[in-house]
A = this chain, B = another copy of it.
């Protein structure tokens, strides 16, 4: 860990309120490392050695079984991933790879658990983060079980619009990954975009222009309890 990185790390929400002493203990054995794109950071099934926190860039969480693979989530700064495995001292349930060049803070699992047990501010922050992640997965699960693939895409576009504050949204990563994340094949995603054309969805590469929000929303029927990340 380079000393000049420390102040920046200290500022992260996740360390708000933690004592200097405990923060130092956490940092002593930690690494802040920059990885190129497409670097596999962890593999499912392995013991959870480090808590990973994305500081910059973007990390893809994915899972495999029996030759199939699916993107489970994309992690953006500043969020941890696989916190649950660390806390329970278990194996990872998902693999992770950088999607673009990324800076990742890696804190040894033992340190996390130690400080977790003695620093209320830190444990509180971790729990809030974990609870938030939990709710995120529940929403994703509802999304998958209660909607068709075209509906999932429509709602995703509305979400991007919300986040990017523009009617022309930019897909944040490859359509291939987006498809997998939405639980469909790339071919099917392509067709889903076509299906949405009558609702004012125009595709040019990774730029999507939404010309009829009302129609799109009527079709998508977004729900606070699935699509609102804040709730």
Contact = CB atoms under 8 A, between A and B. Distances in A.
Interface of A: 44-45, 63-66, 68-70, 72, 83-85, 87-88, 90-91, 93-94, 117, 120, 123-124, 126-128, 130-135, 137-142, 144-147, 183, 221, 223-226, 231
Contact of A146 (B66, B132, B146): B66
A63 B146 CA distance: 8
A139 B221 contact: no
Contacts of A83: 131
Contacts of A140: 141
B146 A225 contact: no
A121 to B, nearest CB: 11
B183 A65 contact: no
Contact of A84 (B88, B90, B131, B144): B131
A218 to B, nearest CB: 11
A72 B131 contact: no
B135 A65 contact: no
Given A127-B127, A128-B87, A231-B91, A223 B135 contact: no
A65 B141 contact: no
Contacts of A126: 127
A85 B45 CA distance: 29
Contacts of A69: 146
A126 B130 CA distance: 11
Nearest to A124: B117
A139 B93 contact: yes
